[in-house]
Amino acid sequence: MIPVAKPLIGDEEVDAAARAIRSGWITQGPEVAAFEREFAAFVGAPHACAVSSATTALHLALLAVGVGPGDEVVTVSHSFIATANAVRYCGALPVFVDIEPGTFNIDPTLIERALSARTRAILCVHQMGMPCDLAAIVPIARRRGIALIEDAACAAGSEILWDGRWERIGRPHSDIACFSFHPRKLVATGDGGMITTARAEWDAHLHRLRHHGMSVADTTRHASSQVIFESYPVLGFNYRMTDIQAAVGREQVKRLPMVLDRRRELAQRYLKGLANVRGVRLPVEPVWARSNWQSFCVRIADGIDQRAVMQRLLDEGISTRRGVMCAHLEASYPAGTWTCRPQGRKCDCAPGGCQRLVESERAQDRGIILPLFHQLTNADQDRVIAALRSACG
């Protein structure tokens, strides 16, 4: 059986977890602080704040830029549901805009008309690790004076051409970027997330918010020769990462350059092996983007049955997944909890579909995510290519 994804975990991670456990300091402590420094250095960000997941990272990032009840946040429906959920945790309304079919990313030309006087932030997504068009989106946010947050959950190691230089996602191109360390992503800590920013005051606020809104860090109090009484100036959360997770994450970041090389090689093999297959459309990597290929999603032509193709591959021992979901099609997103228009006006589209999110819905219903992970052999990948060719050719 060829799985769709598989984390790369070795003895180094096992030893690192054991080291943290043996140290006696197992919750947020020195390993978390070291992981923050090393991850910040890897992406080229001045500050990083480790948290319990990308979902909690997004929640805190939105709070840090001031998103609250009555606000609107422009984002995509075509994403893992956590993206839109984080907006709703703040009491704000997600305003969904459609995507570009080739990159599966937000269509920057649709953003301006989705903005209103209530828009507090834009939440863009680097879907499946493919950088979205920050060079087009950043000026819109700056011009309108609204915050820009990147859902970089999938994008550790992805790069974008910025002022003529290749820079990693998480280097502060926008205001804040949020990463995930779920096992489906390239850096896996079980669960975990990271928030990077250039603004020291946001970073300090994020560090407080993740730790019950507490005025001092446990490590500071522990190391102090003076008695310290903590205070709780803001309402916070327990969104901490543990030192066991951080110790594993530090080893994962060391592996990341090698993992990126292999994934890019595998992606090129798919692009070559599936070129000219009539029923298959390939993902598009713009000239200014270098994906980390967290997922490799093809689109099958109209008239080909998505479920039947996936079943045929499964029968041949190949596991796949449907294209990325659309939040607005889920039962947890009834009318009134989201909109596709500015000023909070209700979507007047037919139930079960939205006329303004056509490409998003097509990407869900036509997309198939193929196996791609570090340990995938060329021979197994050739089996996937052959099976898809015969199912769609």
Q: What are the residues binding ligand PLP (CB under 6 A)?
A: 53-55, 79-80, 82-83, 125, 151, 153-154, 180, 182, 193
- In the complex with ligand PLP, the residue whose CB is nearer, 134 or 274, is 134
- In the complex with ligand PLP, the residue whose CB is nearer, 283 or 385, is 283
Q: Least distance from C-beta 193 to ligand PLP, angstroms?
A: 5
Q: Least distance from C-beta 35 to ligand PLP, angstroms?
A: 15
Q: Least distance from C-beta 185 to ligand PLP, angstroms?
A: 6
Task: For CA atoms 152, 384, 101, 346, give the dihedral sign.
Answer: negative
- In the complex with ligand PLP, the residue whose CB is nearer, 43 or 392, is 43
- In the complex with ligand PLP, the residue whose CB is nearer, 128 or 376, is 128
Q: Least distance from C-beta 64 to ligand PLP, angstroms?
A: 17
Residues in Cβ contact with 105 at an 8 Å cutoff, skipping those fewer than 6 apart: 76, 99, 124, 125, 126, 127, 130, 131, 132, 133
Q: Least distance from C-beta 62 to ligand PLP, angstroms?
A: 13
Cα–Cα distance for residue pair 333/338, rounded to 1 Å: 7
**Number of residues in the chain:** 393
- In the complex with ligand PLP, the residue whose CB is nearer, 149 or 388, is 149
Helix or strand or coil: residue 270? helix
- In the complex with ligand PLP, the residue whose CB is nearer, 25 or 80, is 80
Write the DSSP assignment of 81-110 as a string of letters: THHHHHHHHTT-EEEEE-B-TTT-SB-GGG
The separation between CA 249 and the C-alpha centre of its own chain, rounded to angstroms, equals 16
Q: Least distance from C-beta 117 to ligand PLP, angstroms?
A: 28
* Residue whose pair of structure tokens reads 């992606």 in the numeric block: 267
Q: Least distance from C-beta 188 to ligand PLP, angstroms?
A: 10
Structure tokens at 207: 């560090």
Helix or strand or coil: residue 296? strand
- In the complex with ligand PLP, the residue whose CB is nearer, 63 or 274, is 63
Structure tokens at 348: 């007047």
Cα–Cα distance for residue pair 52/244, rounded to 1 Å: 12
Amino acid at site 7: P
Q: Are 41 and 184 a contacting pair, CB within 8 Å?
A: no
Structure tokens at 171: 């280097």
